[in-house]
Structure 1
Amino acid sequence: MQVELGRCLLQERLNESDMTVEDLSRKLRTKPERLMDYMEDKRVMPLKTAISIAATVGCSVQDLYELQLAPWEK
């Protein structure tokens, strides 16, 4: 089964973990603007970044995006 990435759910995961974008950027040593790009769907986070974010906020990598079946899988 193949899936496509939908909307980024990072803001929801931050809300659940009581963290701000600034908190996460400090912990990951990255710019808040980069995280905002992910949250606004301007960029797709690389797998390494997604793993780091998931570990930091306490979720799975799959929880960072809405996942949709690829059109040919429907």
Structure 2
Amino acid sequence: MKIELGRCLLQERLNESDMALEDLSRQLRYKPERISDYIDNKRVMPLKTAISIANSIGCRVQDLYELESID
């Protein structure tokens, strides 16, 4: 089964973890604009970044995007 990434769910995960975008960007040493680009679906997170973000906010990498099955 092939999977495609849908909408980024990072803002929802940040809300659930009570972490602000600025806190995440400071913790990971990323510019806030970069995190915003992921949230706004302007950029797709590289796997390494997604792993770091998931570890920081306490979720699974799969929880950062809507996943769509393609048959």
Q: Does the TM-score normalized on the shorter chain lie above 0.5?
A: yes
Greater than 2 Å deviation, 4+ residue runs: none
The match for 2:43 is 43
- Partners of 1:59 and 1:23 lie apart in 2 by 16
- Separation in 2 of the partners of 1:33 and 1:52? 17
Alignment of 1:53-64 (within 5 A): 53-64=53-64
Structure 2, unaligned runs of 5 or more: none
* Larger-gyration structure (1/2): 1
TM-score normalized by the length of structure 1: 0.94
Q: TM-score, normalised by structure 2?
A: 0.98
The alignment's C-alpha RMSD in Å is 0.4
Equivalences, count: 71
In structure 1, stretches of 5+ residues that fail to align are none
Q: CA deviation at 1:8?
A: 0.1
Offset of residue 39 of structure 1: 0.3
* Residue-by-residue CA offset, 1:21-58 (whole Å, 9 max, x unaligned): 00000100010000000000000000000000000000
Percent identity between the two aligned chains: 73
Please show how residues 9-48 of structure 1 align to structure 2 within 5 Å.
Answer: 9-48=9-48
